[in-house]
Amino acid sequence: MLETTVLFDALENGGDKQAAIAMSAYMRNQFAFLGIATPKRKALCRDFLKSAKKEPNANWDFINLCWQKPYREFQYIAVDYLSLFKEKLNAEDMRKIKNIAVDKSWWDTIDGLDRVAGAIALRDPTANDILLTWSIDDNFWLRRIAIDHQLDRKDKTNVRLLEQIIINNFWQKEFFINKAIGWSLREYSKTNPTWVRAFIKKHGDKMSNLSVREASKYI
């Protein structure tokens, strides 16, 4: 706990008020910031995360404590911390990920949590059913995680799961969902352009122009 206190004190004393104003404005003033740019934040956290990585399991008390903090940088630290343990997490941790995903939600944290969820599902296929459920959830941020959780999979992509999750999100007007659909297809097109072309040909009339445009970028 002492290390956590030292880390938090260093962060809270290392902010820049002018930078904080700009960072908050960039996020539509939804969150308060300390004003610590990513390189400095990573430098301040380096020793703590290096030590934490040696632990056998993720400390969810630490993650939740970061999520309760009023400054956005603490949520970034929580996502960075979770990323260290993504190979040690399992489907049982998905509920805990959901709890933080639906709190203080915006693309900046969601687009880190989707990689964590994806790593879990790749090793523990029982998480696929959870992600399918998320893909039809009322909370569109959970749906975004489901859509994009395979972004780094390449030839390990579960195409049946990808297709079903995207189909579950047709006819959407939400920008962050339509962008996610295009993004997931665009990334997979780098591995299997034939499949993505066929998907667009089959389903393009049900997809937004944004999704089709993003998906077609490299094919």
Cα angle 130, 87, 110 (rounded to 5 degrees) comes to 55
Instruction: Phi first, then psi: give them for residue 212, nearest 5 degrees.
Output: -65, -45
List, as one string, the DSSP characters of 96-148.
Answer: HHHHHHTSS--HHHHHHHHHHHHHHHHH-TTHHHHHHHHTT-SSHHHHHHHHH
pLDDT tens, 98-157? 999 999 999 999 999 999 999 999 999 999 999 999 999 999 999 999 999 999 899 999
**CA-wise closest residue to 124 among 133, 136, 116:** 116
Structure tokens at 10: 């260093």
Q: How far apart are CA 106 and CA 141, in angstroms?
A: 8
| Rg of the chain taking only CA atoms, in angstroms | 18
The percent of residues in the chain predicted with pLDDT above 90, rounded, is: 97
CB 94 within 8 A of CB 129: no
pLDDT score at 3? 83
Per-residue pLDDT at 2 exceeds 90? no
pLDDT score at 1? 52
Domain boundaries, the chain: 126-219
Say what the pTM is: 0.95
Name the CATH superfamily for 126-219.
ARM repeat domains (1.25.40.290)
